[in-house]
Structure 1
Amino acid sequence: MKIVGIRAFGGPEALEVLDVPEPHAGPGEVRIRVRAAAVSPTDTVLRSGAQDMGGQEPPYIPGMDAAGVVDEVGDDAGWRIGDEVMALALPRAARRGAYAEYLVAPSDSIARIPAGIGLEASATLPMNGLTAVQTLEKLDLAEGSVLAITGAAGTLGNYLIQLAKEAGLTVVADAAEQDADLVAALGADHVVERGDDVAERIRELFPDGVDAVADAAVMNELAAGAVRDGGGFATVRGWDGDPGRGITVHPIRVGEEYSSGAKLDRLRALAEADLLSPRIADVLPAERAAEAHRRLEAGGLRGRIVLTF
């Protein structure tokens, strides 16, 4: 099968179109003929060599988001050939990543795609959607609580805003001037200017601090100052700092959601109800993966670039 793989870590040029043996579905698994794979910052981190691959041999296959059509079903898998599904992939695990023509996945790790949005848009939902779900679960905020979100104009930030509003939270979101209208349209109750002083800007609105921060922008200590004493701070890149003041730091690890097909199906339902808004920046053939990585690393994208196979 065709993959976009990495034989040696490096810049975008390290991504190569390669041929490798096809995988096959075992008991309790399905094989997905991947049609779309979203490109995310996590993929660029892997490509650069900044992730421990756990002894896995190259070629490494990036990609944590896939959407496609079930074309092979193992015993007791419970799916049918022809089902259109979306899946979370784990590039560092045995089944590897989503930049591939075929992806084998446990039957409980996938969900049907939302009706009416297509495979490309559906491919933007699994990783960031499940990351947002886990963030809100770990912060465990009561209805009416105040949540601040950094990186609100990005894909994870978008989903956090919409899921937080669906949960009855008050949302403070950061945004550059050109993104303020977008962030407000997603449902943020308050929009503050992004930047290293974001905690001060949030404190101007809530002098005692907010109940929690979801730090999608990976600002770490610069954002933690916005949290009230005894509040919560969700970190998506494993920050091990201690903000003090009784604040609980919650590491968010989307790999823990690999078998969260039921949660992924809830995201499907929310997207069908127009309560969750997948956004695509561009659609490129898989052979242009290096271009997709260059554009992502240059910054400024709103929505995901999606590779098609």
Structure 2
Amino acid sequence: MYVIEVPAYGGPEVLRLTEHADPAAEAGLVRVRLGATTVNQADVKIRSGAAAGRLGTLVPPFVLGFDLAGTLIDDAPGLPAGTVVAGFLPWFELGTGRGTYAEIVVADPSWLAPVPAGVDLVDAASVPLSAQTAQQAVDLLRLPAGATVFITGAGGVVGRFAIQHAAARGLEVIALAGPGEQDELRALGARHTVARGAPSDVTAALRRLLPDGVDGVFDTALLGDPLLPGVRKGGSFVSASQPRVPAPERGIRVSAVHGAPDGIQLGEILDRLATGRLTTRVAGVLPLDKAAEAHRQTEAGSLAGRLVLTI
């Protein structure tokens, strides 16, 4: 099978198309023939060496990739061979360096969900890691319906999903919006928007809107400590990165979300996508052998959605 391999740390140009042996069947696991995967910021950090400290003894060469959408080669309970599925691999935790920039991957069937009719592989691949991370962050906030939640980085891929998940749960969403994003974020479910700016200005704007502070924050933009004055006493703060979790104060619960694959949860998310109760955004589609170009575009930033690689 063909894969995109990282032979050494470096820029996008180090990515190379190469052949690996097809993976053999493994007890308790299933093989998936991929149709699509995505390029995430984590892929860029791993390839460049910026995430080398998280890899333990794993060193190049390895294959990147988290998200997947494709067809099962092997039977699994409730998922017969031939089922179109989506999911994501916990790349860091696996520690094998066998990611989804490949024609065939091996996965735990509990990480996978069937793709509903009417959802194509490109859209399905754009969902798992980002949408599940956003859902799990909203879960960590532990806020009741009617509570207020402030979402930073709301125009990003995870932030957009977080708005939709939070609004579906009955939370009143306040979104940190960049220029020209306000109308779109309101359409996704944000009740109010706050303009991007210096953290102190953002916090002051929150306090003007809610003098006692918001009930919770999901910080995908990693603004960290300066946002705490905008959270009410006894509120909740969830960061998208453990190193950016602020020190707790005034009884505020603080934590970080680290997306974990969950096929049951993903199945519910994909059903919402299929029925129009959730939207995703794809910034572009490139073939697998153009992975280096996809990395260049992702590294440059300002993409309106996720880049998908077709296989």
Same fold at TM > 0.5: yes
Counterpart residue type for residue 146 of structure 1: T
Matches within 5 A, 1:169-208: 169-196=171-198, 197-208=201-212
The alignment status of 1:242 with 2:213, answered yes or no, reads no
Per-residue Cα deviation, 1:27-82 (whole angstroms, up to 9, x for no partner): 22211111111111111121122222232243222221111111233xx5442222
Contact 2:34–2:102 (Cα < 8 Å) also in 1: yes
Counterpart secondary structure, 2:91:
coil
Judged with a 3 Å threshold, the aligned counterparts in structure 2 of structure 1 residues 300 and 263 are, in CA distance, closer, same or farther, namely same
Matched residue, 1:9: 9
Matches within 5 A, 1:1-309: 1-51=1-51, 52-73=54-75, 77-92=77-92, 93=94, 94=96, 96-196=98-198, 197-238=201-242, 239-254=244-259, 257-258=260-261, 260-309=262-311
Counterpart secondary structure, 2:37:
strand
Contact 2:225–2:245 (Cα < 8 Å) also in 1: no
Per-residue deviation, 1:12:
1.6
1:299 and 1:201 mapped to 2: Cα distance? 26
2:266 and 2:181 mapped to 1: Cα distance? 27
Per-residue deviation, 1:137:
1.3
2:61 and 2:10 mapped to 1: Cα distance? 13
Per-residue Cα deviation, 1:155-179 (whole angstroms, up to 9, x for no partner): 1011100010110000000111222
Contact 2:62–2:97 (Cα < 8 Å) also in 1: no
Percent sequence identity over matched residues? 39
Counterpart residue type for residue 152 of structure 2: T
Listed as ranges, the gaps of 5+ residues in structure 1 are: none
2:204 and 2:185 mapped to 1: Cα distance? 19
Per-residue deviation, 1:292:
1.1
Counterpart secondary structure, 1:241:
coil
Per-residue deviation, 1:115:
2.7
Counterpart residue type for residue 305 of structure 2: G
Contact 2:245–2:255 (Cα < 8 Å) also in 1: no
Per-residue Cα deviation, 1:105-159 (whole angstroms, up to 9, x for no partner): 1111100123312000110111011101111111110110000000111110111
Listed as ranges, the gaps of 5+ residues in structure 2 are: none
2:170 and 2:99 mapped to 1: Cα distance? 35
Counterpart residue type for residue 179 of structure 2: E
1:191 and 1:240 mapped to 2: Cα distance? 23
Contact 2:35–2:69 (Cα < 8 Å) also in 1: yes
Contact 1:30–1:77 (Cα < 8 Å) also in 2: no
Contact 1:66–1:86 (Cα < 8 Å) also in 2: yes
Per-residue deviation, 1:243:
4.8
2:59 and 2:46 mapped to 1: Cα distance? 14
Per-residue Cα deviation, 1:167-198 (whole angstroms, up to 9, x for no partner): 00000001112222211111100011112232
Per-residue deviation, 1:84:
0.7
2:278 and 2:129 mapped to 1: Cα distance? 14
2:249 and 2:230 mapped to 1: Cα distance? 12
Per-residue deviation, 1:240:
4.1
TM-score (norm 1): 0.93
Contact 1:24–1:72 (Cα < 8 Å) also in 2: no
Counterpart secondary structure, 1:182:
helix
Judged with a 3 Å threshold, the aligned counterparts in structure 2 of structure 1 residues 5 and 91 are, in CA distance, closer, same or farther, namely farther
Count how many residue pairs are aligned between Structure 1 and Structure 2. 304
1:115 and 1:226 mapped to 2: Cα distance? 43
Per-residue deviation, 1:213:
0.5
Contact 2:238–2:245 (Cα < 8 Å) also in 1: no
2:11 and 2:269 mapped to 1: Cα distance? 33
Judged with a 3 Å threshold, the aligned counterparts in structure 2 of structure 1 residues 14 and 223 are, in CA distance, closer, same or farther, namely farther
